[in-house]
């Protein structure tokens, strides 16, 4: 577990792992962490060996019996203390997000706060774990159900929300009595590592929460380890499907949230000014690196589309792109050079496919940050459903305008798309809004709300190929995902009275 780091890399700058309450160095395969705004390598992160992951699982397995039997109220007190420590260290965690992911500080703080809200939800675990009781379901027979933890569970999380998405998982999981192994993104590992240390400071027993940084080797080890009872995942659809099929084939409970192509319908009667303002943030906030980002605006009628595109021109002209640490900026860089090049290639493809590139962000250069991974906002008009830029998730600051003849036409486009994560409609017509919300085949719906991300006491998840599994993330579904229902029926016969054997199926008649 204490392998030597690669040559010419200072081991002090390597982000390692957190196992059994302690920092662990397994740094024989370090990967670079870059500052997206400058392109400079700032640190390295260790890729865990199979043995290191197995050590983390072993620590979680050892800690489980005692933690399982810890009263829920005591678990809740640790969550309360953890929430307090997170808030005390908010600036440090938010800075780590911006330095490694690139999103602007205000956006990083928003992510952090939404994650803390799930910790807040987990503080109510004594209430959330209350079972159901029925007296006299039969003669002198009582029955009740209770919710018991699964054991060792794991989470595999993406780069775009390095603090929030892990907090979708482990606070509720450990509050339910499970022990946890987190495999965060190797692109921005510092925020979850800071949170791991705060959990220990909050009083969480060693081994209840463990963190291993790594790549596919770490993921596959978790998926095949028989001690791991459940896996939660957020990422792209191809990987989500792999996680789901591999995990379930190995007998695990799996929730795997995949990709998205979120459409916003703009109706002719909409408040166009406010709709465009809302869509600016939804399309270009966090550089479009959100699974709930709006990447398609479906405008009903050519007049609506012409007006929307014209107003987008004006709004985009005022959008400020630069280093996320500068609070005057609206949008930062993309997370890595490889991802920047991938998104830029999609813009090239859209031009080749014949879409009208109204705003071209490919030539953006930020003074003093010429080597950063910046791509300006891009806007396509006259996009059609046969184009790859419409069909595929781009995950960057690229918005496609599609023209539809009617609300029914717009809804058909959404319903026929392979993804069903989030969608919204902008309208003043209550009947149209109600019809849309009731009939659209998407898991999360907004009415004049462009990013309908549920709050912590609801649950987050999509339909179709945006979710593999039956239960959503966080909220009530997460309590069910991280527990098993057990139903107990008991009867105490009267003393001294022998009862006859019964050979018919018992009933309460």
Q: Is the Cβ–Cβ distance between 419 and 261 less than 8 Å? A: yes
A 10 A CB-CB count for 139 gives 8
Strands 356-359, 378-381: pairing is antiparallel
Active site residue 123: no
Token pair of 461 as six digits: 């998840």
List the one residue out of 470, 418, 460 whose CA is nearest residue 441: 418
- How buried is 499 (Cβ within 10 angstroms: 0-12 exposed, 13-18 middle, 19+ buried)? exposed
Cα–Cα distance, 297 to 265 (Å, whole number): 6
Token pair of 150 as six digits: 């699964």
- Measure Cα distances from 487 to 68, 70, 145, 348 in Å: 18, 21, 4, 58
Tokens 């069903």 sit on residue: 420
Polymer length of the chain? 509
Strand, coil or helix: what is 337?
helix
Strand, coil or helix: what is 408?
helix
Dmax (CA) for the chain in angstroms is 91
Q: Is the Cβ–Cβ distance between 98 and 325 less than 8 Å? A: yes
Burial 5-19 (b: 16+ CB within 10 A, else e): beeeeeeeebbbbbb
Q: Which of 123, 287, 291, 299 is catalytic?
A: 291
Residue numbers annotated as active site: 291
């Amino acid at each position: 577990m204490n392998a030597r780091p690669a040559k010419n890399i200072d081991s002090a700058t390597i982000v390692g792992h957190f196992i059994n309450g302690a920092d662990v160095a397994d740094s024989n395969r370090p990967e670079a962490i870059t500052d997206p705004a400058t392109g400079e390598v700032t640190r390295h992160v260790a890729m865990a060996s199979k043995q290191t992951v197995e050590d983390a699982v072993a620590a979680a397995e050892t800690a489980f019996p005692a933690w399982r039997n810890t009263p829920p109220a005591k678990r809740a007190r640790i969550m309360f203390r953890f929430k307090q420590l997170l808030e005390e260290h908010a600036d440090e965690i938010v800075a780590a997000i911006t330095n490694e992911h690139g999103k602007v500080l205000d956006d990083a703080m928003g992510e952090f706060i939404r994650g803390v809200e799930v910790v807040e939800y987990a503080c109510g675990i004594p209430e959330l774990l209350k079972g159901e009781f029925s007296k006299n379901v039969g003669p002198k027979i009582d029955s009740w159900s209770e919710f018991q933890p699964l054991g060792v569970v794991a989470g595999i999380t993406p780069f775009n929300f390095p603090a929030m998405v892990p907090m979708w998982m482990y606070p509720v999981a450990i509050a339910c009595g499970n022990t946890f192994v987190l495999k965060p993104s190797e692109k921005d590992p510092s925020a979850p590592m800071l949170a791991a240390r705060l959990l220990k400071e909050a009083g969480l027993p060693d081994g209840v929460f463990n963190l291993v940084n790594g790549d596919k080797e770490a993921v596959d080890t978790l998926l095949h380890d028989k001690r791991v009872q459940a896996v939660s995942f957020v990422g792209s659809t191809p990987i989500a499907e792999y996680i789901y099929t591999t995990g379930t084939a190995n007998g695990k409970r799996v929730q795997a949230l995949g990709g998205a192509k979120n459409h916003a319908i703009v109706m002719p009667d909409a408040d166009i000014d406010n709709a465009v303002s809302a869509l600016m943030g939804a399309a270009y906030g966090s550089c479009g690196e959100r699974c709930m980002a709006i990447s398609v605006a479906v405008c009903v009628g050519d007049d609506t589309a012409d007006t929307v595109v014209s107003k987008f021109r004006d709004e985009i002209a005022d959008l400020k792109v630069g280093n996320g640490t500068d609070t005057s900026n609206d949008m930062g860089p993309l997370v890595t050079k490889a991802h920047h090049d991938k998104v830029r290639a999609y813009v090239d493809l859209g031009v080749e496919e014949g879409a009208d590139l109204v705003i071209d962000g490919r030539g953006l250069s930020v003074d003093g940050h010429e080597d950063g991974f910046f791509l300006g906002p891009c806007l396509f008009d006259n996009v059609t459903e046969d184009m790859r830029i419409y069909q595929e998730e781009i995950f960057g600051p690229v918005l496609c305008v599609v023209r539809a003849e009617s609300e029914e036409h717009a809804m058909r486009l959404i319903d026929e798309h392979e993804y069903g994560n989030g969608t919204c409609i902008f309208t003043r017509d209550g009947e149209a809004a109600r019809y849309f919300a009731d009939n659209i085949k998407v898991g999360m719906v907004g009415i004049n709300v462009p990013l309908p991300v549920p709050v912590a006491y609801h649950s987050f998840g999509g339909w179709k190929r945006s979710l593999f599994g039956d239960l959503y993330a966080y909220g009530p579904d997460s309590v069910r995902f991280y527990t098993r229902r057990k139903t107990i029926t008991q009867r105490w016969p009267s003393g001294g009275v022998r009862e006859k054997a019964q050979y018919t199926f018992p009933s309460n008649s």
